[in-house]
Amino acid sequence: METGSTSMQCIQVQDLTQGLVHTDAYRGFAGFLGGEDGLFGKILHLIWNLGSPLCLTPEQGAVAVLYAATSPEIENEGYKGRYMLPFGHVTGKMSALASDNALSEQLWKFSKAVLEQVLG
């Protein structure tokens, strides 16, 4: 696929957050800072478990990602290049940088070069 082609113009990019999702991902962070059995790990574990009622479940967290990837509203409502919050809420307007055709062309060429280098 070359830049400027019809195929490239069909690519849409969304930036989103799935929110604070209660998973065991904090364990990697605790391990990085001394392990789960250390004082920091125990404090982090306690805070994480006390805060869990405020967090989304992993299934709820996946909804934002699935919505951005599959909802026809993304294309139909002009959400292209906008920041999405959980459950399909869209914020602000697309920035000038996000709509800059020269930058998108540079990004495409760079991404293609990286993939060719990595994948051969």
pLDDT of residue 27: 63
C-alpha–C-alpha distance, residues 42 and 31, integer Å: 11
At 19, is the pLDDT very low, low, confident or very high (cuts 50, 70, 90)? confident
Position 12 pLDDT exceeds 70: no
pLDDT-derived band at 106 (thresholds 50, 70, 90) equals: very high
Q: Work out the pLDDT band at 6, boundaries 50, 70, 90.
A: very low
CA torsion 35→46→57→14, rounded to 10°?
-60
pTM of this prediction?
A: 0.53
Q: Average pLDDT of 8-33?
A: 69
The DSSP element (H or E) to which 84 belongs, if any, is: strand 83-85
Q: What is the pLDDT at residue 112?
A: 92
For 85-97, how does the pLDDT look when each residue is reduced to its tens digit (9 = 90+)? 777 677 777 778 8
Tokens 């869990």 found at: 52
89 in helix, strand or coil? strand
**pLDDT band at residue 37, thresholds of 50, 70 and 90?**
confident
d(CA 13, CA 107): 12
Q: What is the pLDDT of residue 1?
A: 44
Reading the block at residue 37, the tokens are 């059995």
